[in-house]
Amino acid sequence: MVATVLERMMSYFGPDVRRINHALKVYALAGCIGRRENLSAPELLGLELAAILHDIGIKEAERKYQSSRGAYQEQEGPPVARTLLAGLPLDRDLLARILFLIGNHHSYQKIDGSDFQILVEADFLVNIFEDQLSVNMVESVCSKYFRTATGTSLLQRMFLPEASGEHSRALPPNEP
C-alpha cells in the first residue's frame, strides 16, 4: 500500500522533483522515528501515508491562492489526499486520521498523539536543511516543537552536534 501511495504522490507532482524529494525525505524520517518510538503497526502505516501526502495540497493552494502558506496546504490537502487514497483497503478511522494529520500538520497547537508529533518532527528535520536555518533557529525549533527522544536526537546529531555532544551518543534502543 505504501508503494502505491508513493507512486500516486510522484505521479501527482509530476516533474516537481523538489516536492517529491521533500515528501520522500519526510516519509523516511517519519518511518524511522515511528519505528524507534515503537508506534503500533496501524499508527505507523497512518503516519507513513500521512508523511508521503502531508504537502499534497500545495499545488491546489498555489493554483487557488497563489500561495504555498501552511494554512492553504492544510485546507487543500485532505481532498486531494482522499482522491489519491481512494480504492485502498484503509479502515475508515485510519483514513480519517491520515486526513486529519494532513489537514493540520502546520497547526502545532493541535498535536494530539505520537503520530502527529512525529510527523511534525520529521517535517522540521527536512525543512531545517532545505531552508538552511541558523543554529539559533534550530535550537528554538528543538525546544519549542521536539518531544520524542528519537526526533530530538536526530536533530541534535544532524544540526547541533558540537553544541549538544550528541555526536557521541547513540539513538535510543530499537524495538525488540
Cell numbers at 10, concatenated: 510522484
Structural domains present in the chain: 2-168 (1.10.3210.10)
Distance of CA 3 to the CA centre of its chain: 17
**Stretch 65-73: mean pLDDT:** 96
pLDDT at 115: 98
Residue 161 confidence class, pLDDT cut points 50, 70, 90: confident
Side chain identity at residue 72, one-letter code: Y
Q: pTM for the whole thing? A: 0.91
Dihedral sign computed on CA atoms, order 46, 117, 172, 128: positive
**Predicted local distance difference test score (pLDDT) of residue 174:** 53
Mean pLDDT of 69-90: 97
Give Cβ neighbours of residue 161 (< 8 Å, ≥ 6 apart).
167
Cell of 94: 485510519
